[in-house]
Amino acid sequence: MKVALSQLNYHIGNFESNASKIISTIKKAESEGVDLVVFSELSVCGYSPIDLLEQHDLILKCERTLNEIAKNCVNIGAIVGAPVINPSPKGKKLFNAACLLANGTVVEKRYKSLLPTYDIFDEYRYFEPNDSYNIIEYKGEKIALTICEDLWAKQPSAYVGAKGALYKTSPMDELIKQNPDYIINIAASPFSYNQGKVRTQVLVDNAKKYNLPVLYVNQIGANTEIIFDGDSMVVNSKGAIVERLKAFSEDYISVDTQELIASEKTESKELEYNHIEGIKSALILGINDYFGKMGFKSATLGLSGGIDSAVVVALAAEALGKDNVRVLLMPSKYSSDHSISDAEELANNLGIKHEIVPIQPIVDTFEQSLAAQFKGLDIDVTEENIQARTRGVLMMALSNKFGNILMNTSNKSEAAVGYSTLYGDMNGGLSVLGDVYKTDVFRLARHINKDQEIIPENSIVKPPSAELRPDQKDSDSLPDYDLLDAILFQYIEQKLSASEIIAQGYDEATVNKVLRLVNMNEYKRFQTPPILRVSSKAFGFGRRMPLVAKY
């Protein structure tokens, strides 16, 4: 049998667009003599609709759309992901289903058994887990049809937070008893910079354990914070990746299942991007889809001459086009001359519109207006925040007047320790670097400059500074970023306690200070814009912490 894998970018709730893409691919596959074309998890509605799944009308639209797609499957079969109604009066109202379409109708449905409830996933909130296991037969071939997490019953030890066997049951342990010819797994597996290796290992381990080929179809695209990188693949029974679709791009391939079953290859096709290239590609896709799927076209941000805003504007220009990005340079009396010149040089390198609006007259007016209230009090962080909030007001005014979406430029290190100002530099409709540690921001800048200097060298090498007081440096308040990020990674991604981090050799006072800053600034992060997720543990709904805890 000839089976095609279709890796597409879906839009949540946009049934017309999603169906059009699916039907177009079905017709393409049919014209090429394909017998069965496979699409990803919840492809009809997009992953994940979250609480839209509680809207009965959405489920009815899913059902109607699925039936419309099925009408195009008369001489070809298709496997499509969709939520379907649980016919039983007991349990959750929905199943997460993989539907086999053939003969112009929906002929088979298989339901997801393992429903993840960790990190960004909350599937048990909506779906009933499957507890009956049956392969499907199509054109004489026996298929173990599974959905994403169904192959993750046992996870590699390298997976952050995994303890091995996360579930009491393994769907494949049941399906293998029915002697399938191969496994098809439809997925919605989000990107993180370590996910590709882990995901590959899971698929390879399953192929080897069950001595079966695995045809794996993921999706690409971004739905607000969550970014899907695709990287669909075909693994033979020896655990070798014999076909691999592109990362961060729609793609399509077809394979002959009999040739796959007979394959003895042992050499795998590897990923073509590295750690930083993966982050960059994910962020560009995240920006592009956030704007495109929301119906926005243009972006704005404040350009300071520092590395964070430099990286964001470079990514925005690549994602949206230089004509759709405009920036403000907003110097104060503390801004160095090189900050202004570095920002202008970057804007010129990118060919984007830029204007200079000094904030000092506005800041002076604020301070004069508050002079009576502040009389006799020392200058402190209040005056620094007035500067940041002045810039925030100007940027939001530009956003309102011209319909530009303000892009937030704070990085993960700053967000972690509260080194940012509410209603100032925390403003924005989308946080681009909120899941990127400062040390990786530097690496991103170098990567952006790999072919030619776009970001001025001075923006990369000068000591980071908010420039809100004379001769200010980030290191005045924080440990050096190499040390800070190492501690933050152990606490946030690895979920280690202070004592466990100190036991690794880190200074006790420094660790306690950093963790105290992380814990006490949860209320700030609760008010941040959506953060593009590129790590295994991003701030946002994947990391849920109480605001008023004393811990």
- Choose the catalytic residue: 30, 41, 141, 493: 41
550 CB contacts (<8 Å, ≥6 apart)? none
Q: 38 — alpha (psi -120 to 50), left (phi > 0) or beta?
A: beta
User: Whose CA is closest to 528, among 386, 459, 426?
Assistant: 426
Per the CB < 8 A criterion, the answer to whether 481 and 413 are in contact is yes
Which residues of 188-336 form beta strands (DSSP E)? 214-217, 220-223, 226-229, 233-235, 241-244, 251-256, 299-302, 325-329
| Whole-number Å distance between alpha carbons of 307 and 325 | 17
208 is catalytic: no
Range 512-541 burial, b when 16+ CB lie within 10 A, else e: ebbbebbeebbebbeebbbbbbbbbbbbbb
3-state SS class at 190: strand
Contact assessment for residue 158 and residue 198, using Cβ atoms and an 8 Å cutoff: yes
Tell me the Ramachandran region of residue 416: left when phi exceeds 0, alpha when psi lies from -120 to 50, beta otherwise: alpha
Clarify whether 21 is annotated catalytic.
no
- Strand intervals (E) in 262-404: 299-302, 325-329, 353-356
Nearest to 542 by CA among 495, 499, 479: 495
Q: Which two tokens stand for residue 271?
A: 């990923």
Is 297 known to be catalytic? no
Q: What is the DSSP-derived secondary structure letter of residue 428?
A: -
Alpha-carbon distance of 273 to 304, in angstroms, equals: 30
Contacts of 49 (CB under 8 A, 6+ apart): 12, 13, 42, 58, 83
From 21, 30, 73, 112, the catalytic residue: 112
Rounded distance between C-alpha atoms, residue 360 and residue 366, angstroms: 10
* Segment holding 522, helix H or strand E: helix 522-525
Quote the DSSP letter at residue 129. Answer: P
CB 214 within 8 A of CB 206: yes
What DSSP string describes 439-482?
HHHHHHHHHHTSSS--S-HHHHHSPP---SSTT--GGGTS--HH
Q: What phi and psi values does residue 235 have, to the nearest 5 degrees?
A: -115, 130
What is the sign, positive or negative, of the torsion defined by CA atoms of 238, 232, 534, 97? negative
d(CA 19, CA 529): 31
Give the residue numbers marked as catalytic: 41, 112, 148
